[in-house]
Amino acid sequence: MKKYELFDRNTQSFIYSLQPKAIQRMLDFDFLIARNLPSISAIIQPGSSGFHKVFFGTNEILIPIYSDIEEASKNHPKTDVLINFASMRSAYESSLEALNTDQIRVIAIIAEGVPERRSRELAMIAKKKNKLIIGPATVGGIKAGAFKIGDTAGTIENIIDSKLHRPGSVGFVSKSGGMSNEMYNVLAQTTNGVYEGISIGGDRYPGSQLIDHILRFEANPDIKMIISLGEIGGTEEYAIVDALKNGKIKKPLIIWVTGTCASVFPSEVQFGHAGAASGNKETSAEAKNKALKEAGAYVPNSFDDFPDLIKKVFVKLEQKKKIPKIIEPKLNIVPEDYVVLKKAGKVRKATNFICTISDDRGEESKYFGVPISEVAEGNYGIGDVLSLLWFKKKLPREATKFLEIVLKNVADHGPEVSGAHNAIVAARAGKDLMSCLASGILTIGPRFGGAIADSAKYFKEALDQKMEPRIFVSEMKKKGLNIPGIGHRIKSIHNPDKRVETLKKYAFANFKSNKYLNYALSVADITTQKKANLILNVDGCIAMCFLDFMDSFDFSKQETQDVLNAEILNGLFVLGRSIGIMGHVFDQKRLKEKLYRHPEDDVLFL
């Protein structure tokens, strides 16, 4: 690469501080102009490592992330540009590290507000090391058809409209990034486009000056004319005046120093940039424009005349046959992101999954159409949440209270049952909460909590077929099947299960229909004649009450069948028992070794 060139189509950069949008825009530009290599080789994010996934055209690629410049440089020895998105607080340290890294020759500092003393120090070090800084407070720059820094030139549409997808014949340098983007469009209409454009940044002490880039443009045979925008404040435009007088600038230079309106103000004016402040007469826009014109530069009478003067000079160069003919290259079509197209109403996509219980597309997520804030702040209990998310309807309080009673009754049944036991063992082994909970839940099945769904299935089939209780018991015996929901290891007709009594009492008092519960109790009357412990247990009672619950609260036949098919009944046990299992896990993690063994049992108690 020639000394006067900063970038070419093989230039690769490090991005300091992860900036997903800027990174993607750089890669979209690379794809547009058909670069073989992405212009970004790595990202430097202090304290991080791994990969950042991006698009290169329609393909996804991974850009490595390193924690410091040294590590990135070792892995990518040909990368020689650093684009520094660090904040003003850390831009100095990271830029200094880059200056002290041999392979880095160009640094673009995007941050605004870098202390002036630090900026001057960086500029001095860069000059000693024969390196170049663009910025601070810059949007960067662009080598048309080759390389662009960050967000320079805006969208792909603007880049194409401004002819930045291929090199033109103009070298452009400005202090202002915003004005640079405007001028790229102006130059596309008045010339054959930009060869290279640089924004040096609006601070008082940028790392490189206008004259540094103008002299590079002068040395570059592919650049036929030079355009520049200065601004009020400072004296660096006088370096351009001196270069013109000394014959160092021979190519046509069209320049305008902005801020001529400052003369109408009675006192000193500070414009947008830190360096754009009116002061003495020498630093005024009028004085600098006058000196530049006298030194031989093309200076318009006003900014409004700037485009006409540029076009006039360009036409003269064309007439002298100094402007080469440009063959427009074939461009790749840069795909647009789905989110952008969807927002614009230009694309539709079939869903992979359908969700009918919740919605997070609006300003606030909803439970079956009810905003979460309303659920949280209103008169909604956990039963109401279940009714919305499980049954997709707002059930009356009598119904939702039943759901809550079920959860309370099944939350825990002591430390010996398989779910609690497994969770306790996992907790004592030092496993994390999620692993302990999973260990317990995975034991739920026909012998532990999973009998609710089977109980509902068999009893419903029997009653729907108008099968007498005695015949139902006989048929299950012939099939060699235990009746789900019947039988208890400890409880019996002489020692009833209080949980069953509670559920029965509530159902008889609040449900319009109790046919399934009555049918199951009739079956239990028969089974307890054989053994006193073959009672309707809590699983069976929940199942029967739930069938009556759906009858009583106007579930259709299809809705009832959907609930059974989806195993929602077992879901009640899973949800409730998860509370108990987590309680045992918390208990074990709190207790640690503060336990003793009950003399009559193998279970540990406090």
Q: Could you give the residue numbers annotated as active site?
A: 273
Alpha helices in 282-417 (DSSP H): 285-295, 306-319, 338-343, 372-377, 382-391, 397-410
Residue 546 and residue 542: Cα distance in Å, rounded? 6
Residue 151 and residue 239: Cα distance in Å, rounded? 29
CB of 132 within 8 A of CB of 143? no
In the sheet that holds 366-367, the strands lie side by side as 358-359, 366-367, 370-371
Beta bridge partners of 199: 174
For tokens 């002819």, what's the residue?
163
Two structure tokens written together for 237: 């435009």
CB of 51 within 8 A of CB of 58? no
Tell me how many degrees the CA angle 541-545-549 measures, rounded to the nearest 5. 165
In 3D space, the residue among 465, 411, 466 whose CA is nearest the CA of residue 440 turns out to be 411
Output phi, psi for 278, to 5 deg: -75, 140
Two structure tokens written together for 416: 């010996």
Residue 240 and residue 209: Cα distance in Å, rounded? 10
Helix, strand, or coil here: 115?
Answer: coil
What DSSP letter does each residue of 57-94 carry, written as one string?
A: TTEEEEEEEESSHHHHHHH-TT--EEEE---TTTHHHH
Count of all residues that appear for the chain in the document: 606
Residue 453 and residue 540: Cα distance in Å, rounded? 9
CB of 485 within 8 A of CB of 446? no
Beta bridge partners of 604: 597
In 3D space, the residue among 358, 401, 390, 404 whose CA is nearest the CA of residue 564 turns out to be 390
